[in-house]
Chain A
Amino acid sequence: MAEITYRDALNQALAEEMERDDSVFLMGEEVAEYDGAYKVSKGLLDRFGELRVVDSPISELGFAGLGVGAAMVGLRPIIEFMTFNFSLLALDQVINSAAKMLYMTGGQINIPMVFRGPSGAALQLAAQHSQAAETWYVHAPGIKVVTPATPADAKGLMKAAIRDDDPVAVMEGELLYNVRGEVPEGDHVIPLGLADVKREGGDVSIITHGKTVHLALQAAKRLEKEGIEAEVLDLRSLRPLDVDAILATVRKTNRAVYLEEGWPYVGVGAQVAATIQEEAFDDLDAPVLRVTQADVPMPYAKNLEQLAKPNAERVIAACKRVLYRT
């Protein structure tokens, strides 16, 4: 296995799938000549030409809708949002067109497309450039959402998303692009809907997705020094959601903490907590707690930003609370 960056893993996935299927094209701001705002599409213009790697104007609603229209007649567009913050401009096309098309056509028109880009906060980018977009997307039936945390997952989930016949949002992490990790050689595809235990442990389950998987692992490492074995479950895919894996870890540890970058209200953790209490109530020894971003727009000042983001201390504190330890 080769060790590569998350960025290169995504680049490989895009290139391999474009090679495999002529109907796949990539469109978005800066994806072609500039090689991508985060260099994910580096070299693809030279390799596939300007009809398949397309620089769009800054018109998120327009080019997202163009992608949906192209998908309606059988192409398989990959629409890149420079970040998912800007995709709020495109939500009408994502929700009202892409997610609902199959249903309102009575099954006549499916939308085989991918919306991708980084989601969540980076560093000191302030309110409008720092938000987790998962909830906006995962809320709507008709769309699928994946949030890879490692290079291997990034490649495998991106390839599965491109091959899926429904709209899939692939939410990457701006701070993950330089993360290195081993990626299996060959046609590495990870099916949607499969969570992954990133660390085994028997005392408490930290369930999370996306970038905060790494934070969960840091917290687990520190808990280990205090004699607490935390299991870290990375959902990887939010819709379809691997409920079996969630219930399995809860049945194993009887205690769960949900960790996410986004706001708490109707967040992914709220859904997971609801699912756990509905289906594994008798297995719980403590209420499910959540560690999220503070319920405020992201501040700019460094110290305030640190306070707003979930951190290892808060994860550790939540784990101890569900273990009734102080």
Chain B
Amino acid sequence: MRETATKKGSLEGFSREEVLNMLRRMLFYRRFEEKAEEGYAIGKIGGFCHLHIGQEAAAEGCIGPLREDDYVVSAYREHTQALAKGMDARHVMAELYGRSAGSSAGKGGSMHIFGTEQAFMGGHGIVGAQVPLATGMGWAIKYRGEDRVAMCFMGDAAVNQGAFHESLNMAAVWELPVIYVVENNEYGMGTAFHRVSATRVEDRSVAYGIPSSAVNGQDVLEVWRHFQELVGQVREGGGPRFVEVRTYRFRGHSMSDPVSGTYRSKDEVTERTERDDPITLLRDRLFEAELLTQEELNSLDQEVRAEVQEAVDFADSAPFPDPSELYTHVYSCINEHGRLFFDGRDR
């Protein structure tokens, strides 16, 4: 039942340009999240803000092989997945800033990034709740006889939710074109996966007969190759797939949580961030293959930083939503008869 990725670690099969693009985009995700971190620290961004730092290869390697019209659905650690799917960084940053120019007009925030034009379908805040939604998109693809794929991201903690199991069962019964991707960063907030889970992540789809596989989520090339193959299988009618992407969360659960503490040691975090940084790993490989120089990397980083700064400037100068926006987008159809709001608004 299990399929494993082959050709681990090598650059084989990719052109220099392709690999440099991956590096550039992962660098872009990193700098974007660092700016989000900064924005949170200075009070420009509020609420919960979950950073993807350390997990960039999962966004790039999983989403990269998708087509523009394939659906991506995610949880609340989704900024970089939205960017990977093609959303404009300015609109995503403006959403984090709670501004009217944000992708959800400032009404969603960090946990609810949506871009229907890019088929990025959120941005969902309840652990595991996005899994039935993605399954429904898979259903719609089958219903319409399309050859799209729906990709559903979740954290490791989501595999203990009922919604997850109910969804995998239905996807298997109806052979839906959905790829379920578990980004296993080892912790559900501050609880290590193994402490509250009877079986491993990669075993969780076996009961439903859905082929399962696991990849090193810090190696973007391995992730990309593996997903390229899976996307092809699913697009050709192979039914659902389940993948554990093994990664590590470099920051706290959200900006309001500590990076280390009672649940994981500072030493662990230091060791893992030094050893498993997906950007450093790819950089070193390019250095070794003499496909990239330090100067080239520096200029790439400068470009990326400028682009992210432009997104920040755009967000910071965008107006807050007009007070009249409070009551818009509650219903798409205001019925001719009867009252829909009960706070005294339409009296």
Contact = CB atoms under 8 A, between A and B. Distances in A.
Contact of A166 (B167, B169, B328, B332): B332
A34 B128 CA distance: 31
B339 interface: yes
Interface string A275-319: 100110000000000000000000000000000000000000000
B196 interface: no
Interface string A233-255: 00001011111000000000000
A105 B112 contact: yes
A169 B149 CA distance: 30
B329 A106 contact: yes
Contact of A108 (B114, B169, B170): B114
A61 interface: yes
Contact of A25 (B73, B122, B143): B143
Interface stretch (B49-57, B97-105, B179-187, B292-300): B97-105
Interface stretch (A51-59, A119-127, A180-188, A257-265): A51-59
Contacts of B4: none
A295 B324 CA distance: 40
A104 B108 contact: yes
B1 interface: no
Interface size class of A (residues with CB under 8 A): 35 or more
A72 interface: yes
Contact of A96 (B129, B136, B138, B166): B129
A106 B163 contact: no
Contact of A105 (B104, B133, B344): B104
Given A65-B136, A109-B114, A192 B143 contact: no
B133 A68 contact: yes
A205 interface: no
Contact of A240 (B170, B340, B344): B340
Contact of A73 (B140, B330, B338, B342): B140
Nearest to A191: B337
A63 B71 contact: no
A23 B321 CA distance: 34
A169 to B, nearest CB: 14
Contacts of A166: 331-333
Given A191-B336, A194-B338, A240-B337, A70 B139 contact: yes
A106 B335 contact: no
Nearest to A96: B126
B103 A106 contact: yes
A213 B185 CA distance: 55
B335 A61 contact: no
B107 A62 contact: no
Given A51-B143, A69-B135, A106 B338 contact: no
Given A61-B132, A166-B332, A194-B338, A104 B137 contact: no
B335 A193 contact: yes
Contacts of B124: 97
Interface string A156-194: 000000001110000000000000000000000001111
Contacts of A237: 337-338
B106 interface: yes
Contacts of A102: 329-332
B170 A63 contact: yes
Nearest to B141: A73
A241 B112 CA distance: 30
A107 interface: yes
A160 to B, nearest CB: 9
Nearest to B71: A73
Contact of A93 (B129, B134, B342): B129
Contact of A141 (B104, B106, B341): B341
Contacts, number: 182
A107 B143 contact: no
A233 to B, nearest CB: 13
A95 B328 CA distance: 18
B162 interface: yes
B92 to A, nearest CB: 12
B167 A65 contact: yes
Given A61-B162, A66-B139, A107 B329 contact: yes
A75 B332 contact: no
A326 interface: no
A59 B114 contact: no
A194 B335 CA distance: 10
B294 to A, nearest CB: 42
B197 interface: no
A92 interface: yes
A192 B107 CA distance: 27
B121 interface: yes
B41 interface: no
A73 B137 contact: yes
A219 interface: no
Contact of B136 (A69, A142, A241, A271): A69
A165 B338 contact: no
A103 interface: yes
Given A102-B329, A103-B107, A107-B329, A271 B335 contact: no
Contacts of B340: 141, 144, 239-240
A36 to B, nearest CB: 20
Nearest to A190: B337
B173 interface: yes
A96 B112 CA distance: 12
A79 B123 CA distance: 23
Residue of B73, B135, B162, B340 ringed by the most chain A CB atoms within 10 A: B340
Interface in B291-337: 328-333, 335-337
Given A57-B166, A57-B170, 9 more contacts: A57-B173, A65-B163, A69-B132, A75-B140, A75-B143, A110-B332, A164-B335, A240-B339, A241-B339
16 contacts: A65-B167, A66-B132, A66-B167, A69-B140, A70-B143, A73-B136, A73-B140, A92-B163, A93-B129, A105-B112, A107-B329, A108-B116, A164-B333, A192-B338, A193-B339, A241-B342
Interface of A: 25, 51, 56-57, 59, 61-75, 77, 92-93, 96-97, 102-110, 141-142, 144, 164-166, 191-194, 237, 239-243, 271, 275, 278-279
